[in-house]
Amino acid sequence: MKYGVLVIEKKEYVLLKKLMNLSGYYKDSTLGKSVQKLVGEMETAKIYDDANMPSDVIRFNSSVTIVSENGWRKQFKLVMPSDSDVKSDKISILTPMGAAVIGYSEGDTIIWEFPSGEQKLTIEKVVQENEPINLNMVL
């Protein structure tokens, strides 16, 4: 990891904590494992003010390109659950993929458990969209 631990903006960290607390109600075991891994990583995360956030770190509304060791490439935008639209490549933070990448940076390699099994992913590109998130809207 480029920064050693997850890097998360302060307001987004608070929102993620709320989302993670609510996610205990989900019955999908793969998502449950993803959320638990993210919760564990958040315990040691570096928390930054918005003005100090590195531009290469994945956060809400970031456009992300990842490459799998299996050779597939995927581009998507990481969004709030209410904005999720798979057909438009808008992936919710409350999906295994969303939970896998938040707080990581361009060039990082991660190993994550997906419904199809464990995969090694490299974050190829991160672009910030600079769209504000509604911090009052949890779901």
Residue 52 has pLDDT above 80, yes or no: yes
Which pLDDT tens digit goes with each residue over 117-137?
788 999 999 999 866 565 555
Per CATH, the number for 7-128 is: 3.10.50.30
Residue in 14, 54, 24 with CA at minimum distance from that of residue 136: 14
- Overall pTM surpassing 0.95 (yes/no): no
Q: Where are the domains of the chain?
A: 7-128
Q: How many helices (H) and strands (E) does the chain have?
A: 3, 7
Residue 76 has pLDDT above 70, yes or no: yes
> Which amino acid does the sequence have at 77?
K
pLDDT at res. 119: 84
Which pLDDT tens digit goes with each residue over 58-74?
999 999 999 999 889 99
